[in-house]
């Protein structure tokens, strides 16, 4: 696979992958794919009765654009469909085609460095303590007007991490060559700076 400048960003729920990936994409002038959105879109369709494999095989741009995809209910549904091998298989080609774009791309998810782009130029594994991640997601969701408690958000994060790490198919784990960034004690600027530095170091080393 010819991955000129693919950046893989993986990590557990609400670790800040999305914010960091968007900042990396802006800094390096690359397109960004939030692969969690694919699983969320499939999960959302199952909540309205669609079979998960059928949903994954016929996903449309409209499905990805729906506005309820960020709710904890959809997140749970996403992590349930994400254990199904045929669902994951149906989403591989789209992700790899995105990763192979001329000039490169940033992809964030759970299995980008391990399965989707094993030859990525730079791999980051972004994490933080469950309490810190839950607090950040709580502020994000309540900021959007969602009526939810801290306890519910923490329970969602812990349940998804457990399901994501312990599934047979493409479990969440750092690739052997991923650089770990623990953002528990960092603000967003520090985390982005650390991520940019890591990518620069990795890409310079491979020149």
**Smallest distance, Å, CB 18 to ligand CDP?**
6
Rounded Cα distance between 168 and 182, Å, is 25
* Binding pattern for the stretch 24-43 against ligand CDP, x by CB under 6 A and - elsewhere: -----------xx--xx---
**Considering beta carbons, is residue 165 or 200 the nearer one to ligand CDP?**
165
Interface pick for ligand CDP out of 75, 120, 122, 134 (rule CB under 6 A): 75
Among the candidate windows 25-33, 78-86, 97-105, 197-205, which touches ligand CDP by CB under 6 A? 78-86
Which one, 86 or 200, has the nearer CB to ligand CDP? 86
C-alpha to C-alpha distance for 114 and 88, rounded to whole angstroms: 13
Q: Which is nearer to ligand CDP, 5 or 94 (CB)?
A: 94
Question: Smaller CB distance to ligand CDP: residue 40 or 205?
Answer: 40
Tell which positions 160-179 bind ligand CDP, by CB under 6 A: 160, 164
Regarding 82 and contact with ligand CDP (CB under 6 A), the answer is yes
- Interface residue with ligand CDP, options 20, 23, 90, 110 (CB under 6 A): 110
136 binds ligand CDP per the rule CB under 6 A: no
Least spacing, CB of residue 160 vs ligand CDP, in Å: 4
CB of 40 to ligand CDP, least distance (A): 5
Report the 3 state secondary structure along the chain: CCCCCEEEEECCCCCCHHHHHHHHHHHHCCCEEECHHHHHHHHHHHHCCCCHHHHHHCCCHHHHCCCCCCCHHHHHHHHHHCCCHHHHHHHHHHHHHHHCCCCCEEEEECCHHHHHCCCCCEEEEEECCHHHHHHHHHHHHHHCCCCCCHHHHHHHHHHHHHHHHHCCCCCCCCCCCCEEEECCCCCHHHHHHHHHHHHHHHHHHCC
Which of 199, 198, 178 minimizes the C-alpha distance to 118?
178
Q: Which is nearer to ligand CDP, 21 or 198 (CB)?
A: 21
Residues forming the site for ligand CDP (CB under 6 A): 13-14, 17-18, 35-36, 39-40, 75, 78-79, 82, 109-111, 160, 164
């Amino acid at each position: 696979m010819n991955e000129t400048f693919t950046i893989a960003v993986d990590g557990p729920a609400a670790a800040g992958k999305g914010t960091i990936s968007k900042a990396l994409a802006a800094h390096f002038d690359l397109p960004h794919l939030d692969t969690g959105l694919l699983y969320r879109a499939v999960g959302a369709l199952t909540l309205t009765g669609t079979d998960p494999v059928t949903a994954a095989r016929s996903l449309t741009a409209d499905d990805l654009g729906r506005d309820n995809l960020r709710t904890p209910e959809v997140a749970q549904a996403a992590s349930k469909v994400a254990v199904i091998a045929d669902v994951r298989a149906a989403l591989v080609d789209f992700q790899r085609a995105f990763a192979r774009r001329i000039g490169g791309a940033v992809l964030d998810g759970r299995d980008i460095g391990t399965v989707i782009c094993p030859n990525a130029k730079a791999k980051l594994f972004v994490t933080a303590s469950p309490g810190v991640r839950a607090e950040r997601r709580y502020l994000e969701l309540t900021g959007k007007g969602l009526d939810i408690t801290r306890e519910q958000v923490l329970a969602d994060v812990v349940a998804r991490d457990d399901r994501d790490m312990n599934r047979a198919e493409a479990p969440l784990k750092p690739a052997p060559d991923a650089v770990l960034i623990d953002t528990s004690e960092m603000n967003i600027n520090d985390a982005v700076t650390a991520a940019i530095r890591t990518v620069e170091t990795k890409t310079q080393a491979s020149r």
